[in-house]
Amino acid sequence: DQQVKQNSPSLSVQEGRISILNCDYTNSMFDYFLWYKKYPAEGPTFLISISSIKDKNEDGRFTVFLNKSAKHLSLHIVPSQPGDSAVYFCAASEGRGSSNTGKLIFGQGTTLQVKP
């Protein structure tokens, strides 16, 4: 039962172009969504997050969009840089306020390759 899905295992883009990574979820109780970046042999590093009460959050080159009706979120990276090449995980947590324990449900990941 995969509650968070990243249907594209890999994505390749040219340096300077936009990278769009997609994520779908099934649980309507998810309240908080996060994107993590992971290099081989390292732990995930937090990138950006969004609460369910918002539809967009921006931080520098990274923007996350949330479409609650479609249960879909996406991460936009613009402009893409070779150093962005990594595995990107979408994650979600359930419940609001104190009922949300911070337990994360992860997608399978998308490997992004940015070509110089």
Partner 1 sequence: NAGVMQNPRHLVRRRGQEARLRCSPMKGHSHVYWYRQLPEEGLKFMVYLQKENIIDESGMPKERFSAEFPKEGPSILRIQQVVRGDSAAYFCASSQTGTGNTEAFFGQGTRLTVV
Q: How many residues belong to the site for partner 1 (CB under 8 A)?
A: 31
Please, how many CA atoms are within 13 Å of residue 102, restricted to the half-sphere of its CB? 0
3-state secondary structure (DSSP) of residue 78 = coil
- Residue of 57, 74, 100, 113 interacting with partner 1 (CB under 8 A): 100
- Residue of 11, 20, 78, 105 interacting with partner 1 (CB under 8 A): 105
Determine contact, residues 114/92, Cβ cutoff 8 Å: no
Determine contact, residues 54/75, Cβ cutoff 8 Å: no
Asked if 54 touches partner 1 (CB under 8 A), the answer is no
Residues that bind partner 1 (CB under 8 A): 4, 6, 31-32, 34, 36, 41-46, 49, 51, 89, 91, 93-95, 97-98, 100-109
